[in-house]
Amino acid sequence: MSIIKSVRGFTPKFGENCFLADNAVVIGEVIMGNNCTVWFNAVVRGDVNSITIGDNSNIQDGAIIHGTYQKSKTVIGKNVSIAHNAVVHGCTVEDNVLIGMGAIIMDDAVIGSNSVIAAGAIILPKTIVEPGSIYAGVPAKRVKSIGEDMKEVILRTARNYPMYAEWFKQV
């Protein structure tokens, strides 16, 4: 069973039709929208600052969402996919974003809407990712603008995760 814990007087709040995998961890000041999914070994730890996650967003296997005490909260928009083993820390991720496997987003960065952060990329603190951009590398730099095909990939990925969750609810 997933771990849902209160801390410092804060208890996670979930929208409708959310899915938490058996060993997902959600702690503290977390507000999650509708149709969100948190997958195996993912940790959403709102113990030192708040975490807000918009509708239809997914936190995939092994991902970590956290913030910085008295400094940087984490805000994740709608239709955001945070891939396996990514770290999203004390930053803002706007709507319709795909964060690749193993990517790291550091404090006070802002990921603009309709953007892609490539697998393994490191977004340094206070980086502003322009909306509609693809960033890659270490440290991550803008590679190019996304096309209509990539916008569809972002939305399709966000739409698919609630469907995958249904498979586990039937077991």
* Tens digit of each residue's pLDDT (9 = 90 or more) over 27-45: 999 999 999 999 999 999 9
Task: Report the residue count for the chain.
Answer: 171
| Domain harbouring 61, CATH code | 2.160.10.10
pTM of the full structure? 0.97
pLDDT in tens, 17-28: 999 999 999 999
Number of domains within the chain: 1
**What residues make up the domain containing 159?**
3-169
Residue appearing with tokens 């795909």: 98
What is d(CA 112, CA 80) in angstroms, rounded to the nearest whole number?
Answer: 11
Among 61, 94, 62, 90, which residue's Cα sits nearest to residue 78? 94
